[in-house]
Structure 1
Amino acid sequence: MQHSFLRTPLTLLAIALAAIATPGHAADKSVAVTAIVEHKALDSVRDGVKDELKSAGFDAGKSLKYEYQSAQGNTGTAAQIARKYVGDRPDVIVAIATPSAQAVVAATKDIPVVYSAVTDPVAAKLVKTWDASGTNVTGVSDMSPLEKHLELIKRVVPGAKRVGVIYSPGEANSVSIIEALKKAMAPAGMTLVEGAAARTVDVASAAQSLVGKVDVIYAPTDNNVMSAFEGIVKVAQQAKIPVVAADTDAVNRGAVAALGLNYYDIGRQTGKIVVRILKGEAAGKIASQTSTTFELHVNPAAALKQGVTLSDELVKSAKVVVK
């Protein structure tokens, strides 16, 4: 059967576009990145991902179509961003922090999703186990070494018994940490006193609610808490309660000490997974990963303002001493 083709301008345009879009060219690849909120730790993850992509030859704006959007702390906005990205059909979606990852995973079952800076991906229902998921989801966890954090608390406040923890009850990541802390504290001879902060604006009042009830305040890797950390420090200085954190950036902002992950390194680790997927590997065949590199940061001046003196041994063992 013979066909006759009428070459309209639209047909010619389609032919021209097909000629430009040669299969397998790096420029055909696209990565969409989203985070629940912007603060230093999550921004470092984003930058690490971008730098790792660039070092692998996927340069944003040149050999890679790249987009980034922050949900500004709003889970409804996170869901909107997730739906937009799914509609755009990128090759990989990178979701930074638990609420953004949950929104993206709920929105697609086929586009590869790489989560990052999610404390407990199993508790957050992103994957069923830590093994290769067999689905479209994999990523890198920022699981905190809670036993080591309790040891650090004892090094800062040797007689500490009551530990106040400020957290977001609506964030699966934070609830998971609270449950794990309860189990870890009993053998350490400590009790946990909860200071729930549903929103960023509630963080300072949650800190105030702990005054007179705790020997030390522990700030976990909670996005609300880190977004409003200065409010905790203000209360801690007035009440002379030392603050120990899980995020090393908190030490520059007034925490006494923190044993935390390098979030830029987590970003690079996440970026390596994204590159593997861009090169053809299936997300479901890549097991979820954790980071094992922890750094101790201390702030002796903040300690004095919060009523404690750090031992010389603790200061000497720190990777970073904030002056």
Structure 2
Amino acid sequence: MRPILLALAATLALSLPARADNVTVAVTAIVEHPALDAARKGVLDVLTAAGYKEGENLKFVFESAQGNPATAAQIARQFAGDEPNVIVPISTPSAQAVVSATRDIPVVFTAVSDPLGAQLVKNMEKPGGNVTGLSDMSPVAEHLALIKEIVPSAKTIGYLYNSGEANSVSLLAVLKADAEKAGLTVVESAATKSAEVQGAARALVGRADAIYIPTDNTIISALEGAVAVSEESKLPLFTADTDSVSRGSIAALGFNYYDVGKQTGEIVVRVLKGENPGEIAVKTAAGSDLVVNKAAAAKMGVTLPQSVLSRANKVIE
């Protein structure tokens, strides 16, 4: 009977799903806002689907820096000391802090527009070392085309950003180059912390025909202040991330950040299963949704053209 029992046990073992080993994944973000929160959820959901279940064989740790770079550095050092299996920094400032804090623990960053400019990796195809991740570089030329389609009279674009965030500085260079090709002028207004966002938006009134906000965590964390200025002054406001449209911007053409998180989670699973992060190419997020807000447009004195409404993935009334 023993050979039969052994054969039966082997058959059962093959038919049962493999149980993932106990792992710790530490996640940090420079600040909490809908886009970054959605990315974090996407990572967790992919881990769960791969057999890493929180409370069973997965310890999923999250820390927010609350918009403070010094706190981001402190969190990075704490994570490095805790030695999790993988660290997932969400946003450029958090990624820079984590990459500076460890050379040994695998790092999979996400929601970073320019990994090369932020000096996270030296090569996108072969990052080397302990780092890889996912870029969310915005399709800036398409954003400008959308703004022109909705506000045909626009000649000057106000760029509202944090001048201390490498991601936003890189995007500014891209914006200026694409704006010149489109016959547009860019006017800058900077806010280095969330309390300054409303004032920086007000500084664009009378100087710009529309406001464009990139995937800047400082600005987006205080978006409502900029929206209030735009509604009061009838200055159309556009964002690069789609999660901000429901909070009052007119439109955005960009990534679904839950999907960005899922794509990041797939890389994390590869690392947990033994792949070297330095040998995994840095990818650019896939997919692009058009989300528009009719109520916000009306408050800012804009009527959305049917050409935009007809191709939108989501219309907020």
Q: TM-score, normalised by structure 1?
A: 0.91
Q: Which position in structure 1 is the counterpart of 2:297? A: 303
Matched, 1:217 2:211: yes
Once the 2 structures are TM-superposed, how far is the Cα of residue 211 of structure 1 from its aligned partner? 0.4
Matched, 1:154 2:148: yes
CA contact (8 A) 1:27 1:62 kept: no
Alpha-carbon separation, structure 2, partners of 1:298 and 1:134: 40
Tell me the secondary structure at the aligned position of residue 31 of structure 1: strand
Matched, 1:262 2:256: yes
Tell me the secondary structure at the aligned position of residue 227 of structure 2: helix
Alpha-carbon separation, structure 2, partners of 1:162 and 1:66: 45
- What letter is aligned with 1:172? A
Alpha-carbon separation, structure 1, partners of 2:267 and 2:41: 15
Alpha-carbon separation, structure 2, partners of 1:311 and 1:53: 41
Q: Which position in structure 1 is the counterpart of 2:101? A: 107
Once the 2 structures are TM-superposed, how far is the Cα of residue 256 of structure 1 from its aligned partner? 0.9
Q: Which of these residues, 63, 66, 76, is aligned with residue 60 of structure 2?
A: 66
Tell me the secondary structure at the aligned position of residue 280 of structure 1: coil
Q: Which deviates the most, 61-70 or 271-280?
A: 61-70
Q: Which position in structure 2 is the counterpart of 1:182? A: 176
Matched, 1:89 2:98: no
Once the 2 structures are TM-superposed, how far is the Cα of residue 27 of structure 1 from its aligned partner? 3.9
Alpha-carbon separation, structure 2, partners of 1:315 and 1:260: 16
Please list the CA deviations of residues 247-281 of structure 1 after superposition, one character each: whole Å capped at 9, or x if unmatched: 11111111111111010001010000010010000
Alpha-carbon separation, structure 2, partners of 1:120 and 1:280: 26
Alpha-carbon separation, structure 2, partners of 1:122 and 1:77: 23
> How many pairs were matched up?
300
Matched, 1:145 2:145: no
List alignment gaps of at least 5 residues for structure 1: 1-23
CA contact (8 A) 2:19 2:51 kept: no
Computing the radius of gyration from Cα coordinates, the structure with the larger value is 1
Q: Which position in structure 1 is the counterpart of 2:121? A: 127
Alpha-carbon separation, structure 2, partners of 1:114 and 1:132: 14
Tell me the secondary structure at the aligned position of residue 160 of structure 2: strand
CA contact (8 A) 1:27 1:65 kept: no
CA contact (8 A) 1:167 1:222 kept: yes
Once the 2 structures are TM-superposed, how far is the Cα of residue 28 of structure 1 from its aligned partner? 3.0
Tell me the secondary structure at the aligned position of residue 181 of structure 2: coil
Q: TM-score, normalised by structure 2?
A: 0.93
- Across the aligned residues of Structure 1 and Structure 2, the Cα RMSD in angstroms comes to 1.1
Alpha-carbon separation, structure 2, partners of 1:247 and 1:101: 19
List alignment gaps of at least 5 residues for structure 2: 1-17
